[in-house]
Amino acid sequence: MTIRIVVADDQALVRAGLRMMLDAQPGLEVVGEAADGAEAVARVGELRPEVVLMDVRMPGVDGVTATRRLVEAGLVGPDAAAVLVLTTFGLDGVVHDALRAGAGGFLLKDADPDELVRAVRNVAAGDAVLDPAVTRQVLEGLGDPGRPTRDPATLDVLTGRERAVLAQLALGRSNAEIGAHLQVAEETVKSHVKRLLAKLGVGNRVQAAVLAYETGLVTLGAMSEGGGPTLR
């Protein structure tokens, strides 16, 4: 199945480069482009792609507002398109806003082509994409990383297994990696993820991961050797 993509960026050269890079990959096709957020919403409504590559800073309607409008219109979500935010260093606050708006992940603009292709495939498959180079900045933007900013009782609706899956999900692990870690089938993980998203009232894995940090289920603590957050 071909993954259809809309690229939203105010720079024509960036859009052209992304189109050339992605169209050269098997199973990927750029079906539309947008120069600002308003045009992105229109293109997604018209073309119904699986993935939207969204720049956060564009003239007029920015990427965060566009993402929010797409979610409100039902054009982005579990049974619709996924938004992959393209960002640069120093925009952690903006990225946090984009994740809250409903983006399925974020990636640095200077990521290598193979990483971008993997990210597109991952968000299309429902996995979160959290660039390790930016994750710490974004999570620190949630407040004091050593103290919960949301009531931990928020997670009381989850079973023990669902909490374990949420914790692994918050570490940026894919369904396959979570299944291997918990010694359950990948399809079982998918079922747990679907249920926990519904119970928590969040639209995607990234929002669930943010909630895991805000409630203190997962903490930055001492950073692991790979640069990622660790369980408390």
Q: What is the pLDDT of residues 33-86, one digit of tens each?
A: 999 999 999 999 999 999 999 998 898 999 999 999 999 999 987 778 999 988
195 Cβ neighbours under 8 A, 6+ residues apart: 162
Among 161, 150, 126, 123, CA closest to 213: 150
CA dist list (Å): 155 to 67, 92, 150, 207: 26, 26, 10, 14
Cβ burial, residue 184 (10 Å; 0-12/13-18/19+): middle
**Delimiting residues of CATH 3.40.50.2300 domain(s) in the chain:** 3-140
**Delimiting residues of CATH 1.10.10.10 domain(s) in the chain:** 152-231
User: In terms of CATH, what superfamily is 3-140?
Assistant: Response regulator (3.40.50.2300)
Among 69, 18, 13, CA closest to 45: 69
Confidence (pLDDT) at 78: 73
Distance, in Å, from the CA atom of 214 to the CA atom of 200, rounded to the nearest integer, reads 13
- pTM greater than 0.85 (yes/no): no
Distance, in Å, from the CA atom of 192 to the CA atom of 104, rounded to the nearest integer, reads 18
Q: Which CATH number fits domain 152-231: 3.40.50.11260, 1.10.1660.10, 3.40.50.620, 1.10.10.10?
A: 1.10.10.10
Confidence (pLDDT) at 54: 95
Instruction: Mark the ranges of the chain whose per-residue pLDDT is less than 50.
Output: 143-145, 222-232
Tokens representing 148? 């919960």
